[in-house]
Each structure stands twice: as C-alpha cells, then as structure tokens.
Amino acid sequence: MSDEMNSAEPSVSVVIPVYNGASTIRRAVESVLAQDYQNIEIIVVNDGSTDATLEALGQFESKIRVLCQERQGPPIARINGSHAGAGKFVAFLDADDQWLPRKLSLTVDALVHNSDAVLSYSNVIPVNYSGLPTGELYVTPDVAKAPTMEDLLRQLWPILPSSAVVLRSTFNRCAEPYSKFNTRGYEDCFLWLLVREHGCFCYVPEPLVIYQQPPLLNRLKKYRKGFDLFVSLVAERYGPAGCNLIEEAHRSYASMLGYLGLMALAAGDRRQAQDYLKRALQFDALRVRNFLRLIRAYLPRVIAIPLTGRTRSAYLHQELPSEH
C-alpha cells in the first residue's frame, strides 16, 4: 500500500474485523497487500482480542492502520472501520478468509461501470480448516445473479462479507440500523437488505475469495441468537414483505438441524438425533419430513438406518452467515 492514495483508481478502504485471529490475520492482510489494485488503505479493527493478534499485526507496521475497541461484534467493527476510512468504496475481509489477487480490481471495476450500483460481490471458494475445498462454490448456478430486493426478501442470498465491495457513503447510511445487530450470525443477511434499499448490486461470477468454512454444527451453535435477532429485525423493518424471507430462514435452519439429526442417527447416537430433530420441528413444525425423521430417531437402529435414504450433500454446504 502506498503512502498516498492513487487518484488514477477509485480509492478503497479495506476493513478487516478481527477477534482472536492471531493464527490467520497475517494471511488475510498479506492477501490484500498482494492485490493487483493499488489505491487502497487497510484498516484492521481489533475487536477486543485476548490472544496474540496485535503481535501478529506488528510485522506490517505502516502498511496498515489498527483500531482497537472492546468486544462489540462484527457490525460495530465494520462501522468503526468504515468511519475511519477515506475511500470511495469499502471492502470487507474477515480475518480467517483470503482474497485472490484480482478480487478488488474485478469487483471495483463492476461498480465503476454501473453508476446505479452500490454493491458488488463475487463467487467464493469454501475450504475446510485444512485448506481443502469443501465441494461446490459458494454461489451455485441457480442464484448466480445480482439479486433484486424481491429476491433478498424471498430467500437468504449467498453474499459473503469477504466478497463484497460497497459504496462507503451507502454503507455509512446503513450504519444505524445495522448497529442493532449485537450478536453473532445473520448480520450480513440483514446488511444486504439495508444496502439494497439504496441501489442495485453487481455480481462477478469469478471465485475471488477463499472462505474458511466452519463445520455446520459450530455455525448452528454460534448463530442461534443471531437467527432470532435477524427474524425480529426483518419483521420490524419490512413487515409483511419480510414474511417469505422469515419462513425461508426457518426452513433452512430446520433443514440443517434435520441433516445433523440424520447424521447422528447414522452414527448410532439416537439421543443426539432426537435432540436435533425436535429442534428442527420447532423451526418448521409443518414439514412432514422432519416429523418422519423424528420418528426414525426412536426406532431401533437396524430399522432406522435403511429408512434414512440418501442424505443430500447440499446440506453440508448450506450456509449461515459468517463471523470474523
């Protein structure tokens, strides 16, 4: 990063929220420094880390700015980072993700060539903790397009924070309602709704981000409170127009719990299977499939296993919004 912002390209403030990310933050920052887009500033927001995150950032010295705050979560960290920046655009990167070298040049170019757009995003490569791809790309062919507001109010759209570049003035206008998110999970889904109120989106189909995807069980545990807050905020802001999205969110959450229940059943853990499937029914009680799964969990294993059928691998890739 140069000392002065290069006026030949639109300026970009890269905001990286981090909480206890000592093991991954270097890799994230290095992926920004390796961009073929030069007119950037890097703002790392240390969100109350208690590990060696600050020490890990020390090697970058004047190449980055570090803001420190008490633990407040991703939305406040992103808001504070954006307010501290000077770029025309703000790009987010979670501390355990990485950008490929052309990430900024392609996503910024999409915004530059569409004056009505306020956000652009790309496809993503999900990987596990060993760095191995988990299967499908994050954006599947059926949703490989920029969403309308109607799309966003109908289903959870696969936009990862680390893939998004937003007009900074637009993001700052969304800061007040976005700051209501004070817990983990689903904050990005709410943010995309807020941003879409101000203009259209651009989708870049190339996979330009490497996303370290936590196991499904970890995500479900971490994001339970975020799910409830998301449902509440969508209902409050969008009223009847948000009903389809809320229903879809419940179905998605129930499906993932149902998948975990079937996996527990296949492993012979009937008690755990019963717990998952009961919880699935709480989210989507009208689905007969979940009711049948619950019945299987009470059957002897020799009978239940043949009844499980082929579980869909898509559940492995169904996504909950990530945290930093």
Per-residue pLDDT of the chain (324 residues; tens, 9 = 90+): 444 454 578 999 999 999 999 999 999 999 999 999 999 999 999 999 999 999 999 999 899 999 999 999 999 999 999 999 999 999 999 999 999 999 999 999 999 999 999 999 999 999 988 888 888 899 999 999 999 999 999 999 999 999 999 999 999 999 999 999 987 789 999 999 999 999 999 999 999 999 998 777 777 777 778 888 999 999 999 999 999 999 998 888 888 888 888 788 778 888 888 887 888 877 776 665 666 666 666 666 555 555 555 444 433 444 444 444
The pLDDT score that the predictor gives to residue 129 is 82
Q: What angle do CA 188, 48, 56 make, to 5 degrees?
A: 100
CB 76 within 8 A of CB 180: no
Contacts of 185 (CB under 8 A, 6+ apart): 219, 222, 223, 224, 225, 226, 227, 230, 320, 321, 323
- Is the four-CA dihedral 162, 249, 238, 234 of positive or negative sign? negative
The pLDDT score that the predictor gives to residue 225 is 82
Map residue 121 onto helix, strand or coil: strand
The pLDDT score that the predictor gives to residue 319 is 46
| Domain 12-213 architecture | Alpha-Beta Complex (3.90)
Taking the C-alpha atoms of residue 277 and residue 280, their distance in angstroms, rounded to an integer, is 5
CB 186 within 8 A of CB 223: yes
The pLDDT score that the predictor gives to residue 272 is 84
The pLDDT score that the predictor gives to residue 276 is 79
Q: Quick one: tokens of 146?
A: 């920029």
Q: Could you tell me the residue ranges of all domains in the chain?
A: 12-213, 234-317
The pLDDT score that the predictor gives to residue 315 is 39
Reading across the β-sheet that carries 117-127, which strands appear in turn? 65-69, 40-47, 12-18, 89-92, 164-167, 117-127, 200-212, 98-99
Long-range CB contacts (within 8 A, 24+) of 247-254: 248/154, 248/155, 248/156, 249/156, 249/186, 250/283, 250/284, 251/283, 251/284, 251/287, 252/156, 252/318, 253/220, 253/227, 253/283, 253/284, 254/280, 254/281, 254/283, 254/284, 254/287, 254/290
